[in-house]
Amino acid sequence: MRRRPMVWVGLLLGVGLLGWYFWPRSVPPPSVVEQPPLHPSSPRILFAERSVPIPEDNPQTPAKVALGRKLFYDTRLSKDNTVACASCHRPEFAFSDGGKAVSTGIFGRKGTRNAPTLTNVGFRRHLFWEGRSPRLELQAVGPLTAHDEMGLEPEELAQRLQAIPEYAQAFQEVFGEPPSLRAVTYAIAAFERTLVSYNSPFDRYQAGDDQALSPAALRGMELFFSEKGDCFHCHVGPDFTDDEPRNTALYTVYKDIGLARATGKDEDVGKFKTPTLRNVALTAPYMHDGSIRTLREVVQHYNRGGEPNLNADALIRPLGLTDQEVDDLVAFLEALTDTSFTTNPALLPPGGKGSTP
């Protein structure tokens, strides 16, 4: 009789242990927003840590950058004193031309191509739409001397700047010589290498802020880096460009023959350089001639597979995206906008908008 309580205690302990063992465990709650996997080509580093390549013959100095910044915003570098570099590359539009299909040069002359953004231009391996210039110092010669852009002969440019005491002194201090076309382009190139932009919602997401992208932008990012969206083959790397010329089947017959103008080759007709997508939402209209007004229309162009063209890039094909997927891709592209870049005081006109030395 004395052993019965011990038996009951043993049975109760046994049942308790079995119940503890077989009782269903609580399942960890799912994450609030399931993040799509990043494509291997998607950058995972903090791009702000990238260093702009500096050519050995044009070392970067604060004084040279300051001089280049003044020149960039100065309309006196044009024949009729109306056009500066910044006239076609405006900071509020990520240094593009703010809604204009083609830019207006001296005496109201119209250009033939859309002014590209200068976002991260120091990283580009090829410049101009067909990529004919390998470096910024050479590229700047084009608009400074072009008939329908700024239109100054080298000697006239040098004499005009030498007559301005502030410039005469600055060129002497920076280059140890009077103003010249070469020194002007070197100073402007030094400033342009400071146009660095890596602080968009996408960058913050890459840095670990899971709330930086909207659900639509996250879906768009997954599409962008997928074979279905097929954007990442050409818009690759930290700046979303491979810097290569491609025919994107914009037209069946191109009025502007693109790369073929430089090479003379039939297979290069209609080829233009892949533009960066950094700040692309600020740089409408789009394509080399500014013929497409909105980002959504650009995505729809690629979704249709473009127009029939013998030189069309092999990647151009109908994508079969739904309207929702088109919207999602646009949302992702908009998330590449860096407003700290367009409002950075160090990149704006020195001394206030429109001021000159």
Query: Binding site: which residues?
Result: 85, 88-89, 231, 234-235
Answer yes or no: are the C-beta atoms of 243 and 273 closer than 8 Å: yes
Output the CA torsion 233→282→111→264 (10° steps): 0
235 φ, ψ to 5°?
Answer: -95, 80
Nearest residue to 194 via CA among 43, 31, 83, 347:
347
Closest CA to 95 of 181, 196, 182, 186: 196
Q: Is 42 exposed, middle or buried (0-12, 13-18, 19+ CB in 10 A)?
A: middle
pLDDT at residue 219, rounded to an integer:
97
Domains and CATH numbers, the chain: 62-193 (1.10.760.10), 199-335 (1.10.760.10)
User: What's phi and psi for 129, nearest 5 deg?
Assistant: -65, -30
Q: Which residues are annotated as a binding site for heme c?
A: 85, 88-89, 231, 234-235
Contact 338, 203 (CB under 8 A): yes
- Which pLDDT does position 37 carry in this prediction? 40
pLDDT recorded at residue 314: 95
What does the pLDDT look like over 105-145, one tens digit per residue? 999 999 999 999 999 999 999 999 998 889 999 999 999 99
Q: What is the DSSP code (8-state) at residue 83?
A: -
Would you state the pLDDT for residue 47?
A: 53
DSSP string, 141-190: HHHHH-TTTT---HHHHHHHHHTSHHHHHHHHHHHSS---HHHHHHHHHH
Q: Given this model, what pLDDT does residue 43 score?
A: 47
Q: What angle do CA 272, 275, 277 make, to 5 degrees?
A: 155
- Point out the residues of the chain with pLDDT beneath 50: 1-46, 354-357
The size of the chain, in residues, is: 357
CA 6 to chain centre: 79
Residue 129's pLDDT is: 93
Q: What pLDDT score was predicted for residue 353?
A: 54
